[in-house]
Structure 1
Amino acid sequence: MKEGRRSGFGIIGLGRFGLALAKTLAESGAEVIAIDGDENKLRLIRNHVQDAFRLGKLTKDALEETGIGECETVVVCIGEKVDVSLLTTLNVLNLGVPRVIAKADSVEHGIILERIGAEVVHPEMETATRLAAVLLGSKALDMMRLNDDYVISEIKVNKHLYGKTIRDLHLDKYDLNLIALEKEPNITLPGASQDEMLTEDDAILVIGKFADADRFERKVMNRD
């Protein structure tokens, strides 16, 4: 983590949701700090993230030692232990992290998290891949995770591509496959021709790995 400015993401808790989120963010080139009390879980992510720390107790002092307080965004992925979730979230907030998101396993849990100042994500309604796309600034209109790696992404065509064809997108270079071209009003063209011209309000529906879809958006869709 670079000193002097806040950057990157911190993930606390490497259950199924936290592990998928940390992996997705890291594979997209983001700086990630991962924290968990189980070395076996850390071993699954250690080679993917910038830093991984084993903490038995998630006190404010222990968290500060990891440097997670310098992250721009921290996601607390501890849902099943409500007391630990709330205290950990409060400790992260007290470290001055600008954006703290916490996983909630119930409506009541979410209400309390919001009252102490955290944003809330409900895993039964939000996949880790969808949250990662939001955190990374994706302009995909919608995203559906098929498994830990593959997604179906609906991407709005921007002004840089008006007048170009589907062939000009070079989807094959990004290991993405076109499912359909969506044109207004309410027209969907499955398996559209490579010569089909892109116009305002069009959207493309593609399938591929999340990291490749993210790379495509950055390079071709001029997201950055």
Structure 2
Amino acid sequence: MKKEFAVIGLGRFGGSICRTLVEEGVEVMAIDMDESKVNEFASIASHAVIGNATNESVLKNLGIRNFDHVIVAIGEDIQASILTTLMLKELGVNKITVKAQNDYHEKVLSKIGADFIVHPERDMGKRIAHKIVSSSVLDYLELSDEHSIVEIVANEKLHGNTLIDLDIRANYGINIVAIKREKEVIVSPMAAEVIQNGDILIVIGSDEDLNRFEKKMLQQIR
């Protein structure tokens, strides 16, 4: 059976999630108080409903507890976001992802039991900043406050070296978990794997160690 998702709040963030979930082939109910937004998604989502998600009877009538995952993407109204999340938990929704506006909002959401909390503006800002600062970083994903996964383009200074030559784990405390080479993806590459110019290295580690590796990588390897 297809998983069923509900997206509450159809602003830019919620709307983007709704469209992407539909493209992935899952059932999606789109919910918002704004009739014009609901009308916009009427032909996109499986169901599009005008409703106030802070009203418990509305959520019950929508059968919200039967959805596999509910995304609370309410915009600037932090109180509505918190109240909606609290009611979803009380109604027994299995998984709840909530958009947080700030650190205080995140703390409250965490205390009332949100399963996943996202900061789309903050996280995107970090990703863009990393890409702007370094020409080597293609993408950046924060795993925690101190650990990340980055995609780094191998340059001519790394070309021809094996992973054991570079001894990256011992020297930097990070791990290359995969290498993307044109259409090929090498998962858990062997120590004897030879890096080629233009390879995309998918690297995981602490932010401090990743930054140290990146700076060293841009210098001449002796």
* Distance in 2 separating the partners of 1:24 and 1:102: 17
TM-score, length basis structure 1: 0.56
For 1:11, what is the secondary structure of its paired residue? Answer: strand
* Distance in 1 separating the partners of 2:123 and 2:182: 30
The residue type paired with residue 119 of structure 2 is H
User: Hey, what does 2:122 align to over in structure 1?
Assistant: 125
User: Hey, what does 1:138 align to over in structure 2?
Assistant: none
Q: Percent identity?
A: 34
User: Hey, what does 2:195 align to over in structure 1?
Assistant: 187
Could you tell me which of 92, 96, 107 is aligned with 1:96? 92
Q: What is the number of residues matched between the two proteins?
A: 152
Deviation at 1:68, TM superposition (A): 2.3
The residue type paired with residue 121 of structure 2 is E
Partner deviation per Cα, 1:165-205 (whole Å, 9 max, x = no partner)? 96799xxxxxxxxxxxx998683544x8xxxxxxxx987xx
User: Hey, what does 1:67 align to over in structure 2?
Assistant: 63
User: Hey, what does 1:33 align to over in structure 2?
Assistant: 29
For 1:125, what is the secondary structure of its paired residue? Answer: helix
Partner deviation per Cα, 1:15-48 (whole Å, 9 max, x = no partner)? 1100001001111101111100011111222111
User: Hey, what does 1:19 align to over in structure 2?
Assistant: 15
* Distance in 2 separating the partners of 1:188 and 1:59: 57
Summarize the Cα distance change of 1:29–1:116 in structure 2 as closer, same or farther, 3 Å threshold.
Answer: same
Summarize the Cα distance change of 1:186–1:99 in structure 2 as closer, same or farther, 3 Å threshold.
Answer: farther
Summarize the Cα distance change of 1:108–1:47 in structure 2 as closer, same or farther, 3 Å threshold.
Answer: same
Give the number of the structure with larger relative contact order, counting CA–CA contacts within 8 Å between residues 6 or more apart: 1
* Distance in 1 separating the partners of 2:32 and 2:80: 12
* Distance in 1 separating the partners of 2:14 and 2:53: 18
* Distance in 2 separating the partners of 1:88 and 1:16: 19
Does structure 2 conserve the Cα–Cα contact (< 8 Å) formed by 1:33 and 1:49?
Answer: yes
Structure 1 stretch displaced more, 40-49 or 111-120: 40-49
Partner deviation per Cα, 1:91-145 (whole Å, 9 max, x = no partner)? 1111211111111100000000000000211111346xxxxxxxxxxxxxx689x
Does structure 2 conserve the Cα–Cα contact (< 8 Å) formed by 1:74 and 1:99?
Answer: yes
Q: Which runs of 5+ in 1 are unaligned?
A: 128-141, 145-153, 159-164, 170-181, 193-200, 204-224
Superposition RMSD on alpha carbons, in Å?
Answer: 3.8
The residue type paired with residue 65 of structure 1 is N
| 1:141-220 aligned within 5 A | 187=195, 189-190=197-198
Does structure 1 conserve the Cα–Cα contact (< 8 Å) formed by 2:11 and 2:75?
Answer: no
Alignment of 1:7 with 2:15, yes or no, is: no
Larger radius of gyration: 2
The residue type paired with residue 39 of structure 1 is E
Moved over 2 A (4+): 165-169, 182-190
User: Hey, what does 1:76 align to over in structure 2?
Assistant: 72
Does structure 2 conserve the Cα–Cα contact (< 8 Å) formed by 1:7 and 1:70?
Answer: no
For 1:61, what is the secondary structure of its paired residue? Answer: helix
* Distance in 1 separating the partners of 2:194 and 2:49: 49
The residue type paired with residue 95 of structure 1 is L
* Distance in 1 separating the partners of 2:110 and 2:184: 45
The residue type paired with residue 125 of structure 1 is R
For 2:70, what is the secondary structure of its paired residue? Answer: strand
TM-score, length basis structure 2: 0.57
User: Hey, what does 1:112 align to over in structure 2?
Assistant: 108
